[in-house]
Amino acid sequence: MIPTMMNTHKAFKALQQAGVADHQAEVMVDIFAEMQQENSLTKTHLSQAMEGVMRAKHTTAQRVDKLAQSLGHFENEVRHTFKAIELRFDNVDEQFRQIDKRFEKVDERLVMAMASAFVLSAAKYILPVSRAASPGCASGLT
């Protein structure tokens, strides 16, 4: 406030020396002081507004950091979930492989059983014909 008063006094003296009437000089100095006071209020408002902007920026940066952390945690959870699902699918695949092996063994046994049945039935039909065809055999065995 003191520098403003000194500036107004200097301005008043300068206006008087320039030949401006005392009353006009006083009015001009009052206008100048009022403008300077408004200017200082404007600077105060700008300073307060800038502080508000800086606080908002800081708050926004904190929120962005929290969101980044949350996103990182979410990505890790999703990654772990997918790994667990992959393991389950791998286990299911292994179980299907074991079932396929069992079916292959059953298929082999069925093929062997069918082949044996075919050989037995063929032997059953072939042997009676050959027994009847051989005249020297009384027991029917050759």
3-18 pLDDT, tens per residue? 555 576 677 677 777 7
Q: Report the C-alpha gap between 127 and 119 in whole angstroms.
A: 12
Whether this model's pTM surpasses 0.85: no
Radius of gyration of the chain (CA): 55
In a domain, 60, yes or no: no
Q: Which two tokens stand for residue 97?
A: 């492989």
Span 59-63, average pLDDT: 95
CA 95/CA 110 separation, integer angstroms: 22
Q: Is residue 103 part of a domain?
A: yes
Residue 120 lies in a domain: yes
Total structural domains in the chain? 1
Domain that holds residue 96: 80-126
Question: CB under 8 Å to 70, separation ≥6 — which residues?
Answer: none
In this structure, is residue 92 part of a structural domain? yes
pLDDT computed for residue 5 by the predictor: 56
